[in-house]
Amino acid sequence: MRARITGTGSYMPEKILTNLDLEKMVDTNNEWIMARTGIEERRIAADDECTSDMAVIAAERAMEMAGVSADQIDLIIVGTITGDYPWPATACIVQAKIGAKKAFAYDVSAACSGFLYALSCANDYIRCGHGTKVLVIGAETLSRSIDWTDRNTCVLFGDGAGAVVVEAGEDGAGILSCHLHSDGNYLELLYQPGFGAKHPASTAGVDSRLQFLKMQGNEVFKVAVRSLTEVSIEALEANGFTHADVKLFVPHQANRRILEATAKRLHLTDEQTYINVHKYGNTSSATIPVALDEANRQGLIASGDLVLSAAFGGGFTWASTLLRWA
């Protein structure tokens, strides 16, 4: 038995924040952002919109494509680091909103690798025979964890949600492998210092801006390219394939330079590599399901195609999934 993706969906908020808008907010300019990141604009959630709202729309679109109704779903997993509340899980809120009465639900916190970690959980759940229909979502409202006075980080990120329906199927098409890695020694290169148990919410913490994402971009860049390359090769070699067999590489959309450096090391062409980071920036766990949905709806992936996906994020965490499109 294999777990296969039978439906994809995504939702991006309406509000667009361009590089020109950012020029008015911090000491930056369009040329710098384009040269260093390739990001032209990003989407920002409306004031009354949060992670579960975007997740629900993406999920409903994926379920519609799969022809699966909410009451058939066994399990909902949401990859997110910007859930509606510190707890409970945003997946439970999604479960209630879509009316998936029999589903149990939990979140996965693996930063930008969150979607591939969640997809791996769905794969294991289905292959163990526990259930047949899982909703896997990557959704983020990063705009509320970003310091909009910090030019080093605020130009990079955006909001959005993507979802897939994963169903049990016969051997053949479906998820061929998932490879997951973590290294907590890199914690302080990319993290949100407050307001968890270590630094609970406090006025002093707010004054020190502990509630916002902190990053050492240079260091992250180097480890990201190396890890994305290694974990992609790991997936191909484990299944006896080479770069030439890949129809589409759908990487985590961090920024164009990371994607191009990784694709080059993997000997993948522009045609083999899906990039949409110029439109949305880095939406963390949402980037891969959003990109998969766009590529799917544009007809870039057909039944039988080999699709490689890889992610890297805070933790550090990194992961790859290789699948034969159903």
CA distances from 134 to 75, 117, 126, 226, 291 (A): 5, 14, 8, 31, 19
Which residue stretch of 79-87, 115-123, 171-179, 220-228 sits at the interface with ligand ACO (rule: CB under 6 A)? Answer: 220-228
Q: In this structure, what token pair is assigned to residue 107?
A: 């979140």
Rg (CA), the chain: 19
Which residue stretch of 179-187, 199-207, 249-257, 269-277 sits at the interface with ligand ACO (rule: CB under 6 A)? Answer: 249-257
Residue 95 Cβ vs ligand ACO, minimum distance, rounded to whole Å: 28
The residue from 18, 69, 149, 152 that contacts ligand ACO (CB under 6 A) is 152
Which residue stretch of 87-95, 130-138, 152-160, 164-172 sits at the interface with ligand ACO (rule: CB under 6 A)? Answer: 152-160
The active-site residue out of 92, 112, 121, 178 is: 112
User: With binding defined as CB under 6 A, does residue 28 bind ligand ACO?
Assistant: yes
Which residue, 28 or 211, has its beta carbon nearer to ligand ACO? 28
Q: Closest Cα to residue 137, out of 225, 87, 191, 70?
A: 70
Which residue, 123 or 287, has its beta carbon nearer to ligand ACO? 287
The residue from 65, 98, 119, 220 that contacts ligand ACO (CB under 6 A) is 220
- Distance CA(155)–CA(40), nearest Å, equals 9
User: With binding defined as CB under 6 A, does residue 278 bind ligand ACO?
Assistant: no
User: With binding defined as CB under 6 A, does residue 32 bind ligand ACO?
Assistant: yes
User: With binding defined as CB under 6 A, does residue 254 bind ligand ACO?
Assistant: yes
End-to-end CA distance of the chain: 13
Buried b (16+ CB within 10 A) or exposed e, 19-29: beebeeebebe
Look at residue 252 and give its three-state secondary structure: coil
Residue 30 Cβ vs ligand ACO, minimum distance, rounded to whole Å: 10
The residue from 169, 194, 205, 217 that contacts ligand ACO (CB under 6 A) is 217
Q: How many CB atoms lie within 10 A of CB 50?
A: 20
**Backbone dihedral angles phi then psi of residue 252, each to the nearest 5 degrees:** -55, 130
Residue 64 Cβ vs ligand ACO, minimum distance, rounded to whole Å: 30
- Distance CA(182)–CA(309), nearest Å, equals 17
174-182 and 190-191 strand pairing: unpaired
- Applying the rule CB under 6 A, the residues between 303 and 322 that interact with ligand ACO are 312-313
- Distance CA(129)–CA(180), nearest Å, equals 21
By CB under 6 A, name the binding residues for ligand ACO: 28, 32-33, 36-37, 112, 151-152, 155-156, 190, 215, 217-218, 220-221, 224, 252, 254-255, 257-258, 282, 312-313
By annotation, the residues acting in catalysis are 112, 252, 282
